[in-house]
Structure 1
């Protein structure tokens, strides 16, 4: 389960409720560690390491495995190479954080910056080879899961991110497949009156067939499973979720994700079709994370962490039943 960014609800409560609901693992957001590090004074490598130790103890006490640390953002394709070197320095701090947390996986979302970033695939691949090779030098090695965001500036489809994975060609560099970002790019459009792209069904069918026939499932390091809410009006200027300069799909993602099977809350995307290809047809057997972002998580009511955890586990149970998946603790 993804616990989301630190906000109204404290990390200990979110971890506790995830465990009570029956989840076996959690993704940790770097922002959660920064938030916890403030308790030790300024945010420094030392305070971050202490926050990671505290988080690991909480997870261990609740029998939860840390799946990954994320998101290592705005990394690839930077045209300012001094800024790139600063990112590499930060990455070396992350290497220590994942060791403390007890995971070996860092998630890198595709860059969605609109300035000082290049779409040159050779540069993007070069940058990813650099982090992969640095990760291989760690003991134990650190792995990277690269995820295409539906609003990525240049890498916005699973096909483009898969091309990067193939060209990097390192054992510790793989893909994160996210149902929201896959369907949210090729099938859904929150800025459209229909909520869909013009050729949504056919385009998704073709994309899933390509996924089925192209992807080496051994190079998929993480799967994230989540739906999205159908907007009652197009997410354009004047919509409550609209933010100037922010892509509609990003605004939608931050406010209106849902768990699968929540049509009663407005869920409408065929994310189970994607899950079927990945989990059933391709036989993926790694971690599956229910990665939810939603305005509902900012509700200060104390019951919110429990409610979200219970919703997430119900969705997973329904998926296991529908797809006839083996009962396994990969959440």
Structure 2
């Protein structure tokens, strides 16, 4: 495993997800980009909902998510806004519920049409990276066998390769078929394409193997804390020793609140409990969370990875009911806490 020197961490490029800042209608995309840039981040993950919101603000009416004839010019304008704020677009996200649909189904046809449209947006915003989240469509509607999943992602990877684009596959801890880092790594390895790699995430990794929002302790039920700590440590050692650094395209950074009272173990608004947790209860590091996110970051760094660290947080407060803040101060604090995380991960700091 590669040692984690502080000098090597100082060169890590830092990004911020555009969907991870703002708490009201007045926090428009131009204001968000300005705050992100002023805080010292050099790039963004461009969120597709932000493209839709910006289109509505500028055009005065809602745009359908599949109306790429109208969305592409809006995306080009967003590229100009990023340029004006000295920001690049590191990645377009989140491309979801793509893989597993039955062949010949309307849903599968729509998934590939969406991919074509998102590729057109990638061209105009200047990014070569598409994030794909492991589908959370119910298993009653999709094929979850590994062969189907691998085949679909390989086909998408080949579509992207025609444009010299890459696919970053992420485990979502509430995913139907790939909630953990091992799941997505096994899939990426089976896809076996040079432009298909991983989007790892401190929340998704710790949230799938260590935390549980439906538990009164915040920990996975039925496992003694000392055994859970041992198992999670072994998992992080395995990640550090088995995943090649060039197959990691980025590490997203966020923590989680321990939900009190715990979330009910049921689907709400179409989301499983961990999906609800992800949607509203994810603060930045050192701001009220409890997951072992430094352990995840160290494991990724031990592989030798020194690529993008990207802040992706969804902080609606400890009760998930909303949180008011000022954009510039929030973005500045995010940068300070990102730097603290890097320093804490170094073995020689």
Using the size of structure 1 for normalisation, the TM-score is 0.90
Is 1:74 the counterpart of 2:97 in the alignment? Answer: yes
Residue among 309, 316, 324 paired with 1:295: 316
- In the alignment, which residue of structure 2 is the partner of 1:243? 268
- Cα distance in structure 2, aligned partners of 1:132 and 1:278: 23
Verify the 8 A CA contact 1:19 1:64 in the aligned structure 2.
yes
- Cα distance in structure 2, aligned partners of 1:28 and 1:325: 32
- In the alignment, which residue of structure 2 is the partner of 1:329? none
| Cα displacement string for residues 243-282 of structure 1 (whole angstroms, at most 9, x for unaligned residues) | 26531111111111011122xx2x1111011111112x11
- In the alignment, which residue of structure 1 is the partner of 2:256? 228
| Cα displacement string for residues 28-63 of structure 1 (whole angstroms, at most 9, x for unaligned residues) | 111111222233354421221111111111111111
Paired residue total: 316
- In the alignment, which residue of structure 1 is the partner of 2:114? 90
- Cα distance in structure 2, aligned partners of 1:51 and 1:200: 47
Range 73-82 or range 150-159, more displaced: 73-82
* Matched residue SS, 1:228: coil
Is 1:200 the counterpart of 2:228 in the alignment? Answer: yes
TM-superposed deviation, 1:305:
2.2
* Matched residue SS, 1:78: coil
Structure 1 residue ranges without an equivalent (≥5): 327-331
Write the mapping of 1:123-142 to structure 2, written as runs, cut at 5 A.
Answer: 123-138=148-163, 141-142=164-165
Q: Which has the higher contact order (CA 8 A, sep 6+)?
A: 2
Verify the 8 A CA contact 1:37 1:50 in the aligned structure 2.
no
* Matched residue SS, 2:169: strand
Residues 62/201 of structure 1: CA separation in 2 closer, same or farther (3 Å cut): same
Residues 231/37 of structure 1: CA separation in 2 closer, same or farther (3 Å cut): same
- Cα distance in structure 1, aligned partners of 2:283 and 2:315: 7
Structure 2 residue ranges without an equivalent (≥5): 1-15
Verify the 8 A CA contact 2:33 2:82 in the aligned structure 1.
yes
Verify the 8 A CA contact 1:258 1:292 in the aligned structure 2.
yes
* Matched residue SS, 1:150: coil
| Cα displacement string for residues 130-174 of structure 1 (whole angstroms, at most 9, x for unaligned residues) | 001111112xx1100000000001111110100110011111100
Residues 170/294 of structure 1: CA separation in 2 closer, same or farther (3 Å cut): same
Range 19-28 or range 113-122, more displaced: 113-122
* Matched residue SS, 2:18: coil
- Cα distance in structure 2, aligned partners of 1:212 and 1:270: 15
Residue among 108, 120, 123 paired with 1:99: 123
Verify the 8 A CA contact 2:78 2:125 in the aligned structure 1.
yes
Is 1:47 the counterpart of 2:70 in the alignment? Answer: yes
* Matched residue SS, 2:19: coil
Verify the 8 A CA contact 2:281 2:314 in the aligned structure 1.
yes
* Matched residue SS, 1:223: strand
Is 1:187 the counterpart of 2:210 in the alignment? Answer: yes
* Matched residue SS, 2:33: helix
Is 1:275 the counterpart of 2:303 in the alignment? Answer: no
Residue among 313, 317, 324 paired with 2:335: 313
* Matched residue SS, 2:17: coil
What RMSD in Å do the two structures reach over aligned CA positions?
2.2
TM-superposed deviation, 1:64:
0.8
Q: Following TM superposition, where does structure 1 have runs of at least 4 consecutive aligned residues deviating by more than 4 angstroms? A: 296-301
- In the alignment, which residue of structure 2 is the partner of 1:252? 277
| Cα displacement string for residues 203-232 of structure 1 (whole angstroms, at most 9, x for unaligned residues) | 211210110111011011111011101112
- Cα distance in structure 1, aligned partners of 2:282 and 2:333: 12
Using the size of structure 2 for normalisation, the TM-score is 0.85
